[in-house]
Amino acid sequence: MKPGVLRLAVPALGALAAEPLYLLVDTAVVGHLGAVQLGALGIGGSLLAQVAAQCNFLAYGTTGRAARRFGAGRRPAAVAEGVQATWLALGLGLLIVLAGQLLAGPACGLLAGGGHAVRSAAERWLRIAVCGAPCILISLAGNGWMRGVQDTRRPLVFVAAANGLSAALCPLLVYVAGWGLTGSAVANVAAQTVGAGLFLRALLAEGVSLRPDRAVVRAQLVVARDLVARTLGMQLCFLTAAAVAARMGTAQIAAHQIVLQLWNFLALVLDSFAIAAQALVGGALGAGDRVRARAVSRLVARYGGGAGLVFAVVLLAGWSVVPALFSSDHSVVAQAHVAWPWFAFMQIPAGVVFALDGVLMGAGDVGFLRTLTIAAALGGFLPMTVLAYVLHWGLGGVWAGLTLFILLRLVGMVWRTRGERWALVGA
> Over the stretch 310-345, which tens digit does the pLDDT of each residue have?
999 999 998 888 888 766 778 878 888 888 999 999
Q: Is 188 domain-assigned?
A: yes
Same domain, 202 and 285: no
Residue 412 in any domain: the answer is yes
Q: Judge if 169 and 275 occupy the same domain.
A: no
| Whether residue 194 is found in the same domain as residue 157 | yes
Low-confidence ranges of the chain (pLDDT < 50): none
Dump the DSSP string for 224-271: HHHHHHHHHHHHHHHHHHHHHHHHH-HHHHHHHHHHHHHHHHHHHHHH
Question: Angle 35-54/2-31 helices, nearest 10 degrees?
Answer: 150
Q: How far is residue 2's CA from residue 25's CA, in Å, rounded to a whole number?
A: 34
Task: Assess whether 242 and 333 both reside in one domain.
Answer: yes
At 58 the pLDDT is: 87
- Give yes or no: residues 206 and 233 share one domain: no
Do 203 and 250 lie in one domain? The reply is no
* Cβ–Cβ under 8 Å, residues 289 and 33: no
From 212, 243, 273, the end of a domain falls on 212
Q: What is the rounded CA–CA span in Å between residue 43 and residue 84?
A: 32
332 in a structural domain: yes
pLDDT of the residue at 361: 86
User: Which 8-state DSSP code applies to residue 52?
Assistant: H
Tell me the pTM.
0.80
423: in domain? no
d(CA 331, CA 238): 22
Give the pLDDT of residue 98: 95
Could you give the CA distance from residue 53 to residue 65 in angstroms, rounded to a whole number?
20
Q: Are residues 188 and 84 in the same domain?
A: yes
Beta carbons of 161 and 193 less than 8 angstroms apart: no
What is the number of structural domains in the chain?
2
Q: What is the pLDDT of residue 20?
A: 64
Where is the domain boundary, 148, 181, 212?
A: 212
Please check whether residue 8 lies inside any domain of the structure.
yes
Last-in-domain residue among 212, 243, 268: 212
Are 62 and 203 members of one domain? yes
Element (H, E) at 276: helix 250-286
**Residue 427 forms part of a structural domain:** no
pLDDT reported for residue 426: 61
Task: Tell me the pLDDT tens digit for each residue of 340-360.
Answer: 999 999 999 999 999 998 888
- Residue numbers of the domain that contains 401: 229-418
On whether both 71 and 168 belong to a single domain, the answer is yes
pLDDT tens digits for 110-158? 767 666 888 888 899 999 999 999 999 999 999 989 988 888 889 989 9
Same domain membership, residue 183 and residue 328: no
Asked whether residue 186 is domain-assigned, the answer is: yes
374 and 245 in a common domain: yes
Asked whether residue 219 is assigned to any structural domain, the reply reads: no
283 and 188 in a common domain: no
